[in-house]
Structure 1
Amino acid sequence: MKYTYLIINILTVIFPVILSFDKRVQFCKSWKYLWPGMAITGFVFLFWDVLFTKQGVWSFNDQYITGFKLFDLPVEEILFFLTVPFACVFIYCCLNYYIKWRLSNKASKLISYFILILSGVLLLLFHNRLYTVVTFGLLLFFMLVLVGVTKSKWLNQFYIAYVVSLVPFYLVNGFLTSIPVVLYNDHQNTGLRIGTIPFEDHFYSMTLLLMNIAFFEYFKNRKKLSE
């Protein structure tokens, strides 16, 4: 069905949009901090997406997309960089409101160092695989900035939100890769999959969320400082 990818996008975002007006979390009041970061991050990832599509890292099954394209990308793929970050930042904010428990600084640092080491090792082992190199190269760069330069304290909450976000991640990416809507060229990745989902997708998602939440926290804190 040509509306499959579009429907997946709508289902991804519909409940977070509706629940944004909940009187307790009131996520709708934080939208103004979300849009700038989504625009910046979306630009980076769409550039990456166009490049990967042209290089044959992945492609899209015409049976499950409407056929409308921009820069050779299905419009549904462009919407993906709006719907998924919106839903995940919503999860992040809800967890911050309802769950007061946080990872300790020590635990957060250990996770961060593990990600840094893993990224470095995979870059060395799979230096000739474009999807692997770009995914872990960007992740390594952003983690170095967040851990070594800005020393972002919100990583304690981020790692919890990321684990929770894996539930919708497996649902959405599971559908996209099992139908399949998105087809991957395994010559450009490690070839490892969890179910039908490429291993790299987990860290592609992590980088996407890191960027969006980093900008969200930046714009929110800048507003507080100006008051």
Structure 2
Amino acid sequence: MKYTYLLINILTIFFPVVLSFDKRVAFAKSWKFIWPGMAITGLVFLFWDVLFTIYGVWSFNDKYIIGLKFFGLPLEEILFFLTVPFACIFIYACLNFYVKWQAGPAIARVISNLLIGLSVTLLILNYTKLYTVVTFGLLAVLVILLLYYFKPNWLSRFYMAYVVSLIPFYIVNGLLTSIPVVLYNDAQNMGVRVGTIPFEDHFYSLALLLMNVGFFEYFKNCKKLAV
């Protein structure tokens, strides 16, 4: 069906938007802190998305998109970089409100260093594969900057939110890759899949969400300092 990818986007964002007006979390009040970071992060990832499409890292099944494209990207793919981060920041905000426990900074450092080590190793071993190189190169840079330069106090809570976000991740990406709406060129990735989802997708998503949450926290803190 031509509206398949569009429908997946709508379902991804439907409940987070509706539940944003819950009086306890009051996520709607935080929307103004989300948009700037989503715009900046979206531009970065859409730049890579255009290149990935040009160089055949992936393509889109015309049977499941409405056909409206910008710079070679379906409208639905552009919306993906809005709907998914919005939904995941909603998860992050809900966990911050309802779950008071968090892992200490030492655990966040361990997880971060493991991610850096994994990213650098896989990047070196798969330096000819564009999707793998960009995914793990970008993730390594982001984690290094956060861990050793910015040193945020929210990193452990982000990792917890990311683990929870894997539930909708497997639903959404599972649909996109099993229908399939998005077609991956295994010559440009490691060829390892979790079900139908390329291994790299987990870390591409991690980098996407890390940037969005980072900007969300930055703009939220700027507001607090200005008050």
After TM superposition, give the deviation of residue 153 of structure 1 in Å.
Answer: 1.2
- Which amino acid is the alignment partner of residue 117 of structure 1? G
TM-score by length of 2: 0.99
- Deviations, residues 104-138 of structure 1 (Å, cap 9, x unaligned): 11111110010000001001100000000000000
Counterpart of 1:54 in structure 2 is 54
For residues 1-227 of structure 1, what are the structure 2 equivalents within 5 Å? 1-227=1-227
- Deviations, residues 43-63 of structure 1 (Å, cap 9, x unaligned): 000000000000000000000
1: CA distance between counterparts of 2:59 and 2:191?
16
- Deviations, residues 6-52 of structure 1 (Å, cap 9, x unaligned): 00000000000000000000000000000000000000000000000
> What SS does the corresponding residue of 1:204 show, helix, strand or coil?
helix
- Deviations, residues 133-164 of structure 1 (Å, cap 9, x unaligned): 00000000000100010011111100000000
2: CA distance between counterparts of 1:221 and 1:33?
9
- Deviations, residues 147-189 of structure 1 (Å, cap 9, x unaligned): 0100111111000000000000000000000000000000000
1: CA distance between counterparts of 2:163 and 2:215?
20
Aligned residues: 227
> What SS does the corresponding residue of 1:148 show, helix, strand or coil?
helix
> What SS does the corresponding residue of 2:163 show, helix, strand or coil?
helix
2: CA distance between counterparts of 1:50 and 1:103?
37
> What SS does the corresponding residue of 1:183 show, helix, strand or coil?
strand
2: CA distance between counterparts of 1:16 and 1:171?
15
What is the CA RMSD across the aligned residues, in angstroms?
0.4
> What SS does the corresponding residue of 1:66 show, helix, strand or coil?
coil
2: CA distance between counterparts of 1:204 and 1:72?
20
1: CA distance between counterparts of 2:105 and 2:47?
34
After TM superposition, give the deviation of residue 226 of structure 1 in Å.
Answer: 1.0
1: CA distance between counterparts of 2:209 and 2:84?
9
1: CA distance between counterparts of 2:150 and 2:105?
15
After TM superposition, give the deviation of residue 3 of structure 1 in Å.
Answer: 0.3
1: CA distance between counterparts of 2:123 and 2:152?
24
2: CA distance between counterparts of 1:194 and 1:104?
30
2: CA distance between counterparts of 1:217 and 1:208?
14
Give unmatched runs, 5+ long, in structure 1: none
> What SS does the corresponding residue of 2:100 show, helix, strand or coil?
coil
